[in-house]
Amino acid sequence: MIGIVSYGAGNIFSLTAALERQGIKYGMIHKPEDFERYERYIIPGVGHAGAAMSKLNETGLVPYIKALKKPVLGICVGLQLLTEFSEEGNSNLTGIVPARTLDFGEKIKLKVPHTGWNKVYSDQSATELFEGISNEAYFYFVHSYFVEFNSKFTVAFADYGIKFSAAVKKDNFYGVQFHPEKSGGAGEKLLKNFSHLKE
């Protein structure tokens, strides 16, 4: 069963609807003792990374998240929260993954935010998260900031004027920049894979 970290900065409806379509059971995490009820965890997120981090800090859940040993999946801003720092508001984040979240800004000549379907190149040997998914599948993105590519932690990448991390993995922590709940069959397969990840 999956516990969704509830901190007021996630699009919970789309995510829960996708989990329900896959027959994946879930519940909400509001306080530290809720973590004990679940085998896996999702940190959703939309909007401003700095504001989302402030909301997450207010819950008092950050130390408990960092101590988790079971699989954790950050989605969109939820991924960015796993990194050390975001240029969005010059914000310090959880630091679970030693990478930075950067502003597309003047680094590219394309329209920002990056919105729509983009090909994601995954390394299936690096994680079971993409098992059964084409290593050049399309996923749906909506973001103005990106997690820098890092060969040590990036398990899937995309290119939008610059190569960036579409998915990362560090120990039991996973994160995806795209929205699997809005990415059709490939996204729902990824959520299913996450629900079956071994500890």
Contact status, residue 168 vs residue 155, Cβ threshold 8 Å: yes
Active-site annotation holds for 48: no
Return the residue matching tokens 């700095």.
50
Residue 143: active-site member: no
**Alpha-carbon torsion 82, 50, 47, 137, what sign?**
negative
Catalytic residue among 48, 114, 143, 179: 179
- Choosing from 48, 143, 181, 196, the catalytic residue is 181
* Residue 60, CA distances (Å) to 19, 55, 131 in order: 26, 9, 34
- Those residues with Cβ within 8 angstroms of residue 160's Cβ, 6 or more apart along the chain or in another chain: 104, 108, 110, 114, 118, 141, 146
Is residue 181 part of the annotated active site? The answer reads yes
Angle at 94 between CA 82 and CA 98, to 5 degrees: 60
Q: Which two tokens stand for residue 2?
A: 């999956």
Which of 48, 76, 88, 143 is flagged as catalytic?
Answer: 76
d(CA 73, CA 173): 6
Q: Cite the active site residues.
A: 76, 179, 181
